[in-house]
Each structure stands twice: as C-alpha cells, then as structure tokens.
Structure 1
Amino acid sequence: MKLLITGGAGFVGSSLAIALKMNYPDYEIFAMDNLKRRGSELNLSRLKKQGVEFIHGDIRSKEDFDALPGVDAVIEASAEPSVLAGLDGTPDYLINTNLFGTVNCLNYALKHKAAFLFLSTSRVYPIKTLEGLNFVEEETRFALADEQPVPGASSKGIAEDFPLDGPRSLYGTTKLASELLIQEYNEFYGLKTVINRCGVITGPWQMGKVDQGVMVLWIAKHYFDQQLGYFGYGGTGKQIRDMLHVADLYRLIDWQLHNLDQVNGQILNAGGGLESSASLQELTKICQEVTGKTIPIKAVAETRTADIRLYVTDNTKVTALTGWKPEIGIRQIVEEIAAWLAENEEDLKPILM
C-alpha cells in the first residue's frame, strides 16, 4: 500500500506515519508538511529513521500535489489547529489551509482513486449549544447531566446527532465546511471517505500551546516549574475535556484503512470518552503526583473567547461500527509525556517553556 499523510511532520501526522511504517514495513508512506508549526522540524529525523519519505509541500498549493506520486489512500491530518485562529480579523491562512487545502487533497485523491480519511474536530459542534447543556457541579469537575435540551447529548458525552446550527469558531467552521465537501465527493464522485471528529488528541511529540495542545502544555509547565492559570468558569479549574492518546487514534485509523468499506461515508466521533476525561483541577493533581512539583496556578474568573465548559466524546457509534475504543487513560498519558520531556529536555525547553 502507498499512503500520503498531509501534515505529516506535525504531531498527529508524524505519529500516524511512524506507527504505520513500524507495523507495515513494506508500505510506502509519504509525509507532506510545510513545517510552519514550531517544533515540527524535530520530527524529520524521526520520520527518516523509520523510512518514511518526507515531502516539503503545502496543501494550499495545487502545484505541490502535481509533483506527488499516486497513492492508495490519503490521511488528511493537516490543519491550522488553533480554535483562536482567525479571530484577530485575518482568517486567510486558516481558510486557505483548512478549507481550500482540503479541496486540493480531495482532488488529488480523486485523481488517483485513493481512499480519503479525514481528521476533523469536535469543534464543529456550536459553542452556544454546548454552553447551554445541563450540567452538575461536582467537587473537582463539571459533569453533563442525563437530561439534556437537545439530541446528541447525555451524561456519556456528545454524539454525532448533536445539532450543528450556530457559530462554532472559524476553525470549527472550516473543518465542518470540509466535511460537507467530503460528503459530496463521496456521493457524487464515488470517493471512499471516512470523517473522524476527534476530541483532544495528545501524547509525546506534541508541541503544546495554550490554544492547542493543552495537555502537553499543562504537563510541561509543571515539569519546567512555570506558572499556569484556571481561566473562566469562576477560576475553579472544573472545566473538563476528554483526552485521546495518539496511539489509540492510530489503532482506529489502522482499522479504517484496512476495512474502509465498513465505514465508507461515515462521520464518527472519536475521543477519549468519559473514562479518559479530566478537569484542569484533576489534571493538576495528576501532574503534581507524576512530576513531584507544585507550581503556582492563578484563578481568573472571566471566560475566554470561544471556550467551552465541558466536552466529552460519546464513542457509542464508532465502537458499534468498528469495535474500537480508547485504552489509554489520563495518568498513563501524563506519565508518558513527562518521560518524553525528560528524555528530550534540551530540544523541547526552548519550544515549550
């Protein structure tokens, strides 16, 4: 099999490329990336060591695709992933990458009759609807109530039939627009596709920032003895997310690649689920236990733009279709990331501090 992974030097793309090459040494895997994100250059030697061919290219450029060899499948893992991207009034890079870039990827896949696996995001779900959900305040976290005002929401989390009306961030909108186009290519061009709406993805080799990659950021700030803050919702740190280890995501992508007919045309939520969820307060406690460090955390009551109180993935549909469910919990994720920081401290310090 020949595969193209876009965003192939990014955290998710490189992790998938390396895992696929390790498990299928005979596969030809091309990792395409524009190396815009700081830290992605550290993955080039890792890709080369495993025998993944790196191609310096930009999905915004149709010409860069013209120079690529044909493949059997495309894993579209490229994105401007920040939920705050474009909110400063200049959304051009965001839209050109996340929407028009996807069009170039789709046309390339169509040209070579390649399957198309798309990594979308839970951020396609509208902010105000999520914020209007019924919740209970527990000692260390907010939790979703059983009874909800809209379909697709329960104490288990958010399912695929959650309403899509309303603003969701420019980032989420570009991903949803891409989803709509993918469905058209599937229906009218016969392109085999699957869309995965991922929750928070994390693990070693993620270059965490405040607006994307919060898990690594939280652990790194503890590791390097720096300050953090509980922003919004009263400054209590009770807002929650579920965390999906990139190795768990790989297992799903691997299954889909080799059983695409069973998920062709599907939209699937994929996240850590309730079992692998944590509030910032709970995450802080685990970070303290794993790193042995306690750092100052300020409380800021004011809620930031585009933030949400809670998001947990309901994996019921993807588990029923594929048998997949995440296996790696929060503590193991923290331990792995802390070990990675220790092993690569000199390289990571200027990026993550």
Structure 2
Amino acid sequence: MKLLITGGAGFIGANFVRYVYINHPDVAITILDKLTYAGNRVNLTGLLKARVRLVVGDITDESLVDTLMSQTDVCVHFAAESHNDNALVHPKEFLQSNVIGTYTLLEAARKYQVRFHHVSTDEVYGQLPLEPKSAKFTTSSRYAPSSPYSATKAASDMLVQGWVRSFHVRATISNCSNNYGPYQHIEKFIPRQITNILSGRRPKLYGSGKNVRDWIHVEDHSRAIWAIITRGHIGETYLIGADEQHSNLEVVETLLQLMGQPSDAFDYVADRPGHDARYAIDASKIRRELGWTPLHTDFKGGLAQTIDWYQQHCDWWQNQKRAVEARYAQHDQ
C-alpha cells in the first residue's frame, strides 16, 4: 500500500504514522504537512527512512496535491486547523484549511480514484446536555456546530458526503471524541495542565469546569482508522470513542493528584464563548461492523503514562511554553 497522510507531523497524524510504521512494514508512507506551529518535524524522529518521506506543503496547493495523489493508493486526511480558541480569533484560516483544503484533496482523489478517509470530530454534532450521561452522539445525530472550528469541520464532512454521492469517490468519514497522549501540542487542555504543573504554574479551568468530554487514547484512534481504511464500507461514517466521560474538573483534579499536588491547586478562568456542555460517542457501529475495541480502558493509567511522556520530553515543549501562556493571558485564560 502507498499511503498519503495529510497533517502527519501533527499530534494525531504523527501517532498514526508511528502506528502504521511499527505494525505494517509493507506500507510506504508519504506525509504532507505544512509544518505550522501545530506540526513538528521532531514528532517524526526515527521514522523518516526509506519507507517514510515528508513533503512540506499546503493541502490547498492543487499542483502539489495532484502530484502526490497520483502516486497514492489510500489518503488519510488529518490536516486541519483544530484549536477552538484560535478559531475564535482567526476563523478565515479555518475556512481555508478545513474547507478549501478538503475540497482540493477530494478533487485529486476523484481524478486518480484514490481511496480517501476523512478524519473529523464529534464537535460537528454540537453539544449534549450534562444529563442523562446515557445520551450519546450517533451517526444519525443532527449536525449542530457551535464554533468556527466545528462549523468548518462539518462543512468538510458534507463535502466528502457530496463527493461520494455525486462523483463516486471511494471515501469514508470518522468522527472521534477528544484524544490524549504523547506529542499533543501544549495549547490543548490536558498537556497544558500537565506542563503548567511541571513548570510551576497553576492549571487553568474554563468556567465551572463541569463541561464533559469523552476521552480516547490516540493509539486507539490510530487503530480505529486502520480498521476503517482496510475493512470499512465506502460511503459510511464511523464514530470512534472509548466511553470515558469525565468533566474538565475531574481531569484537572486527577492530574494534580497524580503529580503530587493538592486537588484544589488550580485557577478558574473566564469561560470560552460557545463552550459545549458535553460530548459523548456511541461507538457501537465500529465495534459491531469492524471488530474494533479500545485497548486503553484505564483513563487514570493513561493520564499517568501521558504525564510521564511530558516529563521525559521537556525539551519538546519547554521552548514553546512561555509564548503559549502569553497568548492565553491576553484573554485572561
């Protein structure tokens, strides 16, 4: 298999590259990444060998995308602007990358009849009420995005659906819950709190801290995507989640406990505009049809492993920390 991975130097993309490289030695991997602040060549350390190459470029570059897609059997599309706080300040960048970029890739996949998988988010469905916890998103849930980020991801999902129906592009979609694990940028919730504690800062909690997220380890997400591109049915959408619902307050308190700090050693900050109350995924379809199940089922243990990774890789994040916190401070967050 010749595999093209967009956004393969980012958090989830790099973990997927690593998963494929280790577990499927017969796959040749081309990574297309713009190497913005969220993409880091260091994330691919030890992988850029004969079977793996990195092409630095933009998914909206039609000529480059055409060339790479002509050499590809399967394209897995991770590349996206994804941070909600940034979307509130610079929404146009999200339109360009998430919508125009996906369109550009779809047209090239259509031209060369490449199998295409689009990686999306549960945020396209908006929010669930805090109770009952049994209510979850399904593939029939109505799209109701709450932010510029989720709106552009919803638009890209619909582009994929339209290209499947109108042009018979061989595509699938996955909508995944919140990921955690190694190589996640420190502007994101869990690594921000971990690196705050490691650098002597107090963790920050939006609003009341009652907002609930459904967490999944990034390795389980990688395994699910592989199942979809090898066994999934064309035109289908698969929801990926590990049924690990925890409030942001619970997550911060657990991190503090694991790192030997008092459970109340954090600060509340102003809530984010459009902050969704709860996300939760019904992953029964991918479990039933493709036989996928998560392996990382101990969330507290997974957090402990993630803390260890950031402790052991201070050189990976320390140079960015001051600038990230300065940006948050501008908005009293």
TM-score (norm 1): 0.84
Q: Deviations over 1:52-76 (max 9, x none)?
A: 2111111021122133251110000
Q: Which amino acid aligns with 1:81?
A: S
1:192 to partner: Cα distance: 1.5
Match of 1:158 among 116, 137, 145: 137
In structure 2, the CA distance between the partners of 1:38 and 1:99, relative to structure 1 (3 Å rule), is closer
What CA distance in whole angstroms lies between the structure 2 residues aligned with 1:48 and 1:319?
33
Matched ranges for 1:234-313 at <5 A: 235=208, 237-260=209-232, 263-273=233-243, 276-294=244-262, 296-300=265-269, 303-313=271-281
* 1:17 counterpart = 2:13: no
* 1:205 counterpart = 2:180: no
What CA distance in whole angstroms lies between the structure 1 residues aligned with 2:25 and 2:286?
27
In structure 2, the CA distance between the partners of 1:46 and 1:73, relative to structure 1 (3 Å rule), is same
Q: Which amino acid aligns with 1:30?
A: T
Q: Is the 8 A contact 2:202 2:266 kept in 1?
A: yes
What CA distance in whole angstroms lies between the structure 2 residues aligned with 1:332 and 1:305?
32
What CA distance in whole angstroms lies between the structure 2 residues aligned with 1:352 and 1:159?
37
Partner of 2:285: 317
Q: Is the 8 A contact 1:2 1:72 kept in 2?
A: yes
In structure 2, the CA distance between the partners of 1:324 and 1:168, relative to structure 1 (3 Å rule), is same
1:47 to partner: Cα distance: 3.0
CA RMSD in angstroms comes to 2.1
Q: Unaligned stretches of 5+ in structure 2?
A: 323-333
In structure 2, the CA distance between the partners of 1:156 and 1:126, relative to structure 1 (3 Å rule), is closer
Q: Deviations over 1:171-228 (max 9, x none)?
A: 111111111111122122222211111111121011131xxx2122222222323112
**How many residues are treated as equivalent by the alignment?**
319
Partner of 2:67: 67
1:41 to partner: Cα distance: 2.9
What CA distance in whole angstroms lies between the structure 1 residues aligned with 2:169 and 2:47?
29
What CA distance in whole angstroms lies between the structure 2 residues aligned with 1:93 and 1:62?
17
Partner of 1:193: 171
1:50 to partner: Cα distance: 8.2
Q: Is the 8 A contact 2:116 2:172 kept in 1?
A: yes
| Secondary structure of the corresponding residue to residue 84 of structure 1 | helix
Q: Deviations over 1:112-167 (max 9, x none)?
A: 2111111111111135xx3xx3x4xxxxxxxx31xxxxxxxx61522222222x55
Partner of 1:178: 156
Q: Unaligned stretches of 5+ in structure 1?
A: 136-143, 146-153
1:80 to partner: Cα distance: 0.2
| Secondary structure of the corresponding residue to residue 96 of structure 1 | helix
Q: Is the 8 A contact 1:62 1:104 kept in 2?
A: yes
In structure 2, the CA distance between the partners of 1:245 and 1:316, relative to structure 1 (3 Å rule), is same
Q: Which amino acid aligns with 2:252?
A: T
TM-score (norm 2): 0.89
